[in-house]
Amino acid sequence: MTVLTYIDRSPFSRGVLDAAVWLARRLDQPVELVHTVTLAAGRSSQDLSGYMAVDAPETAFEKQVPFDEAQNRVRIEDGHRLLDAGAAAVREAGIRSVTERLYQGTIAQHLAATQENHSAIVVGRQGESTHRAPARLGRNIEYVLQTATRPVVIAPHQFVPIERSLIAWDGGRSCEAALDFLVANGLLTGDQATLLHVGHGPAPSGIRAAGDRLTSAGVDASIEQSTGQVAEAILRCASAMPAELVIMGAFGHSRLRRALLGSTTSAILLNCPSTIMVVRSAD
């Protein structure tokens, strides 16, 4: 198993690499760096030859083919340079086992085909196409959160070493899955962690048992309860701690697809400067 890490040339790539190093060190696993490219031969609506008129002279198409091939070479060479630089940074940080993959296709396609080989996924909050729009999530975030069956770590622009974590706890299956992952891998051993329940009335009955499990795993665990809008309460608590890592469960696939934009998940991803981990239950 490896820590699957998607990189591109966005300003978030440094944070992604640092988050991958932290996760690989805690899990004692190798890092696999992946950069996805779309080559001219595989393009559909982006295929430049498709924009030529039907009765265009043959020479126009013949000129287009070498142009596409040259573009492909540039993209491939650029992708390898990016991966080489990323692997060098990871090794310099102390992770010796690093593999590089240049994949033709989208992140969604790659993830669907390979995620069973990985223990966790690391991706930047925004990519090359959206990093200049701070009010927008990167499109790959939605793809990954919809399809991932592994924990997803979403890196901020600047990764901060993790010592304090906030776990948003509602007692659901995804929260239990997150707890299982944290405890089984000793991910937060030696750190502080706060289990936060947002709502009126008593906290879910399982929250104290969750705290006990964290304590048994060597975590300095505490429990807090807050009221109000869920995202605002999580953001407020994360800022007050301050928490370098915020952990939460995910909705099911169909519900997440409908509710991602404007949802608690989206609000936290857009407004929380911390590293974020989203975990989905198996069913």
Return the DSSP state at 140.
H
Do residues 174 and 148 share a domain? no
CB of 166 closer than 8 Å to CB of 196 = yes
Do residues 138 and 31 share a domain? yes
Q: How many structural domains does the chain have?
A: 2
Q: Is-above-0.75 flag for pTM?
A: yes
Do residues 14 and 114 share a domain? yes
CB of 80 closer than 8 Å to CB of 103 = no
CB of 248 closer than 8 Å to CB of 172 = no
Measured between alpha carbons, how far is residue 217 from residues 166, 179, 212, 242 in Å? 16, 11, 9, 22
As given in the structure block, the two tokens for residue 18 are 């640092």
Do residues 180 and 122 share a domain? no
Q: pLDDT tens digits for the chain (283 residues)?
A: 999 999 999 888 999 999 999 999 999 999 999 999 988 764 443 322 233 333 444 444 444 556 678 888 888 899 999 999 999 999 999 999 999 999 998 898 899 999 999 999 999 987 665 445 455 676 778 788 878 999 999 999 999 999 999 999 988 899 999 999 999 999 999 999 999 999 887 777 789 999 999 999 999 999 999 999 999 999 999 999 999 999 998 754 444 444 444 478 888 988 999 999 999 887 6
Determine the structural domain holding residue 234 and report its residue range: 164-279
Do residues 180 and 201 share a domain? yes
Distance CA 130, CA 124 (A): 11
Question: Is residue 181 a part of any domain in this protein?
Answer: yes
Do residues 199 and 264 share a domain? yes
Question: Is residue 69 a part of any domain in this protein?
Answer: no
Last residue of a domain, one of 129, 155, 181: 155
Q: Shortest CA distance to 14 belongs to which of 92, 117, 96? A: 92
Residues pairing with 224 in the sheet: 196
Do residues 249 and 183 share a domain? yes
